Amino acid sequence: MKNPDYCWCDVAIGGVNKRNNIVNITKFKVPIGKTDCYRTVYRYPEAFKQHFENKKTVAGYQGPVYADLFPIDIDDENLEQAHDNARRVLDRLAAAYDVDLQQVKCFFSGAKGFHIMIPTSMFGCYASPRLPVGFKKMAAALLQGINYDSSIYDTVRLFRLSNTINSKTGLYKIPLYAMEILHKETADILELAKEPRTIEPVDEISYNSQLAELFQKSIREEKKDDRLPAGALTKPKDAKLCYYAIMDGVGQGMRDNCALRLAVYWRKQGLADDMIMGIMRAWNQRNSPPLKEKDIEKAIHQAIERPYDYGCNDQILQQYCDNRCRFKKKQETKITADKIYTIEEARAKYEEYVQELEKRKINLGISIIDRAIRGIAPGEVCEVLARSGVGKTAFLINVIRSVALNQKTPTLFFSLEQPLAQIYERAAQITVRQEGQAIEKAVRAGDANARSLAKLVGMNFEKVYIVEEDFLTYEDLREFIQVAETEKVHEPVRLVCIDYLGRMRGERGSQYEVTSELAKQLKRLAKELDVAVLYLHQTNRSGKTGAEPITMDMARDSGVVEEAADFVLGLWRPDIDKPEAQKSESEELRVAVLKNRKGPLCQIGLDFNKKYLTIEDPNKRPLVAEEVPFKEGELPFE
């Protein structure tokens, strides 16, 4: 759960008048089948609980809040009209904001409307006292021309719980797939609402840069006197990026020095003094804490009076240096004769490369695939492409385990979506071939089984390091790798795994532009840090349910993704839609090499055990060395 400190909610069971029941959301169970049950839209920190204890009511709380979902409440006395409006909302999200509707949670309210819930992880939501105001502004921008209930965004607003009964109609609030709202008749939905209902949850949520930009714009607090002059921060191609990094705000001890440098910089750009003052005031609001007004005026005055000139060697600016800056690249790039090679020198380099490759290439543990691609070498990138729910993460964890056991290679795994605890449970399932429930039971018992489990998982995932931060940038990845090598691993990281590309954050632009740039940056990261990179990527809607064979044109948001990768693997499960397969413990997982810079294309059918999350070659040999010191069922779980 993101923001676990925000664990308090208000609930009302039996009517909204029965609220002021503060509960820890991690311990609260939805009372399915009960009538008129509600909880607050937001989660709250300890301060909310203290407010209630002092005031004996939740009313009046104005502190920070957090929400897992951005709600859209569509109501109308005419249910057909409400249904039509809900369809318009979904169409707009898909067409105007490129939202994958499979990742949107939808509900029939049980009476006269529909609830459309966008996961806030899709746009990088964070806790803030301004979140209710930001949500209202965001809804106003998203829903122009559509009737909706804006009061749902109030700070302590209650919202009806799923699979509970509306006393006015006797119908349940039920979950729906977005496609059902778009294509089912209203009468069919009313029929479904006569009893509780469950639908398959979506495991992976993609970052949406358009919604993220709208959210940031909506939640940002503007003060009339501190607005930036129009166009003042348009970044020219020859901009010095260190100054724009400073514009994000600085802390105590850096404010005065940075203020002077900014004032000098903006003056050199030819801006008028009043525009410089506007920019400096806006920048000052981002500082922690802000400078006094007189200090801002002093910096501008000094910039006017003295001919300061700060270059790339300035000690203050060096602290904000950006590797992407053309001035840095210009300083570092020198054309010399030793960068021009004869064919004989190329041969010597190749011989050195071949010898080193044998020691450092990464094998996936799938014999046919490994022979085809000849391993992933340092500087190379492998993309794994599949539809959500096919088993990409399980595939990746099996590969990481194979690398850990067979090659003893330091691996840094960026789990951008799933929390650390969930990754560990999956790793334990794969290690001892047990269900997650059995793993949880053993760990809770804390006995000899738990100690044996911990030892075996440690042996199977030795030299594997995990980062669970979300929405990381290319620069974040690079810094994490460098910190890991110096402070945690104490040797070079050889394999970087990312789950998954859609959860990374890039520069502003369309989703296509962001994804394209990220793909190119990952290739650059592999070459600059001399690591192999393996990342997961979702298909676009042409991937359908995950039963269809994957092709190169199915990558979501960008064709540049495939161009930047050295290898592209496609995963699909041919029987995923068949009822008999859904009841089966195991299912075929097809893996195809769709792009291979070093050899032929091929594919193989693997055995995917959905119960234990293990993946095996056709001859049932696990994707690990035969000398692994455990056997299936070795731990006596009940």
User: What pLDDT, on the 0 to 100 scale, is given for residue 324?
Assistant: 63
Domains and CATH numbers, the chain: 8-219 (3.90.920), 238-360 (no CATH), 364-616 (3.40.50.300)
For residue 597, pLDDT over 80 is answered with yes
- Of 473, 485, 596, 475, the closest CA to residue 531 belongs to 485
pTM above threshold 0.75: no
**Segment 323-362, tens digit of pLDDT:** 666 665 555 556 788 879 899 989 998 898 888 888 889 9
- Of 419, 417, 416, 393, the closest CA to residue 4 belongs to 419
> Exposure of 473 by Cβ count < 10 A (0-12 exposed, 13-18 middle, 19+ buried)?
middle
Quote the CA–CA distance of 422 and 413 in Å, as a whole number: 13
| Crossing angle for the helix pair 273-285 and 293-305, to the nearest 10 degrees | 140
User: What pLDDT, on the 0 to 100 scale, is given for residue 543?
Assistant: 58
Quote the CA–CA distance of 400 and 404 in Å, as a whole number: 6
Quote the CA–CA distance of 151 and 157 in Å, as a whole number: 8
Quote the CA–CA distance of 500 and 494 in Å, as a whole number: 19
For residue 533, pLDDT over 80 is answered with yes
Tokens of 625: 């060395």
DSSP annotation string for 100-144: -GGGSEEEE-SSSEEEEEEEGGGTT---BTTHHHHHHHHHHHHTT
Q: Which has more pLDDT, 108 or 528?
A: 108
In sequence order, what are the beta bridge partners of 117? Answer: 71, 105
Residues in the chain: 638
**Segment 10-67, tens digit of pLDDT:** 999 999 889 999 999 988 888 888 999 999 999 999 999 998 998 889 988 888 899 9
Through-space distance between the first and last CA atoms of the chain, rounded to whole angstroms:
28
**Segment 370-402, tens digit of pLDDT:** 999 999 999 999 999 998 889 999 999 999 999
Quote the CA–CA distance of 575 and 588 in Å, as a whole number: 7
Quote the CA–CA distance of 163 and 108 in Å, as a whole number: 10
